[in-house]
Amino acid sequence: MTKTKRFASASALAAALSFGITALANAADTIKVGILHSLSGTMAISETTLKDTMLMLIDEQNKKGGLLGKQLEAVVVDPASNWPLFAEKARELIEKDKVAAVFGCWTSVSRKSVLPVFEELNGLLFYPVQYEGEESSKNVFYTGAAPNQQAIPAVDYLMDDLEVKRWVLAGTDYVYPRTTNKILEAYLKSKGVAEEDIMINYTPFGHSDWQSIVSEIKKFGSAGKKTAVVSTINGDANVPFYKELGNQGLSSEDIPVVAFSVGEEELSGIDTKPLVGHLAAWNYFMSVDTPENEAFIDTWHGFIKNDDRVTNDPMEAHYIGFNLWTQAVEKAGSTDTDKVVEAIIGLETPNLTGGKAVMLKNHHITKPVLIGEIQDDGQFAVVWETDAEVPGDAWSDFLPGSKDIVADWTPPISCGNYNSVTKKCSGQNY
């Protein structure tokens, strides 16, 4: 090899090494945040807005100087309402993209799909939607409502304030509705409700033909006892469900529906006139009048550049989860999973309803509970709320196999499935 060629080769090698070092340095200059929400398929109606919410929160944090002296970089993927694909995308975010944390999932089946991935790879998931409980993982922070922060208070309201005697538990056929309804059935029976006064029905995702089911609900409600529907119907199936209620003349005065998965975003695309008076149980509504909420809505409208876009409960859950994560990273001085998990317990941040969200030892948070009545403008008028924030309970007090189980991710327990009677951590640690 000539001297000139050797020099050229050496120069090329030096340039390549320099490029590699620069690329590594540039990669290290940002902290990557994964966004794992369906942007297509049956759940896109609910989840697309959560992707936009995370982009807004990341943008706002970067305007404040980022985190640990670095800018945050969003890594967005689309699991397309495909539950196995959620797991593949989660693995990709953690292994390939090296994200510090992931904010995502809506349905419990998607969360259950990704859970083994986060535990195997020691990643962090912030999950922003109400769910069925019966779980606490070291690698998941549950910023949506547990059943005692939504389902149980909603039933209490219907029972005490509306004097409901017959109950239709209608849900989409997957783990969240089935487990929640199992808890509610046990709770109703503990309150003296007879089995014949409870009707349970499940339909697949995306179900569109509600005529016969609504007819059955109408017949069930004609027995002379006040009847209500407790709805765990998810995604775009809600649109034809409520439409069919209107078609068959079932108003909120006849058979009120209280929904756990219908918020402002779902209502924004449909005619709400037949829905007026029906209810939803959440921990936040856009109509809440607080300075914190007003500022959040203004920021959202400025970011999305559309003053008609609404806010909703899971958006607030991401707002809370993101703020708690950034606090924990700053406290730990690191994005390392184990350090963040240790640092986040006990941290608190303002919610949007005027109170505080505190991260508990069981990886759930404190939340107020609100019952809202649908208005003709697609907003909710709050008709009932708790006096104070309610601590999220990972394990139900109304299921025989769960009432003795607690979750506590601090020493000496450090377990998500701790039996308070046997004093043992049973099964998997979630």
Quote the pLDDT of residue 19. Answer: 46
In this predicted structure, the answer to whether residue 14 has a pLDDT above a threshold of 60 is no
Using a pLDDT cut of 70, give the percent of the chain over it.
93
User: Mean per-residue pLDDT for 251-262?
Assistant: 93
pLDDT classification of 28: cutoffs 50, 70, 90: low
Q: How far apart are CA 60 and CA 44, in angstroms?
A: 24
Please name the helix (run of DSSP H) or strand (run of DSSP E) that holds residue 30, with its range, or none: strand 30-36
In this predicted structure, the answer to whether residue 44 has a pLDDT above a threshold of 80 is yes
User: Mean per-residue pLDDT for 188-212?
Assistant: 96
Pairing between β-strand 279-282 and β-strand 257-259 as defined by DSSP bridges: parallel
Q: How far apart are CA 325 and CA 344, in angstroms?
A: 7
Instruction: State the burial class of residue 411 (Cβ atoms within 10 Å of its Cβ: 0-12, 13-18, 19+).
Output: exposed
Fold of 149-282: Rossmann fold (3.40.50)
pLDDT in tens, 105-136: 999 999 999 999 999 999 999 999 999 999 99
Q: Which long-range contacts (CB under 8 A, 24 or more apart) does 405-412 make?
A: 406/362, 407/136, 407/361, 407/362, 407/363, 408/361, 408/362, 409/136, 409/138, 409/341, 409/345, 409/361, 409/362, 409/363, 410/345, 410/361
Please spell the DSSP secondary structure of 106-137, one letter per residue: -SHHHHHHHHHHHHHHT--EEE-S--------
Could you tell me the residue ranges of all domains in the chain? 149-282
pLDDT in tens, 230-246: 999 988 888 899 889 98
Number of Cβ within a 10 Å radius of residue 46 = 25
Closest-CA residue to 399 (of 78, 110, 180): 180
Q: How far apart are CA 300 and CA 52, in angstroms?
A: 9
Quote the pLDDT of residue 265. Answer: 86
In this predicted structure, the answer to whether residue 7 has a pLDDT above a threshold of 80 is no
Q: Are 216 and 243 in contact (CB under 8 A)?
A: no
pLDDT in tens, 317-369: 999 999 999 999 999 999 999 999 999 999 999 999 999 999 999 999 999 99
- Per mean pLDDT, which range of 23-27, 195-199, 205-209, 404-408 is the poorest? 23-27
Quote the pLDDT of residue 23. Answer: 40
Q: Are 303 and 59 in contact (CB under 8 A)?
A: yes
In this predicted structure, the answer to whether residue 4 has a pLDDT above a threshold of 60 is no
Please spell the DSSP secondary structure of 154-214, one letter per residue: HHHHHHHTS---EEEEEEESSHHHHHHHHHHHHHHHHTT--GGGEEEEEE-TT----HHHH
Quote the pLDDT of residue 414. Answer: 95
- Cα torsion at 46, 132, 118, 351 (round to 10°)? 60
Q: How far apart are CA 193 and CA 298, in angstroms?
A: 45
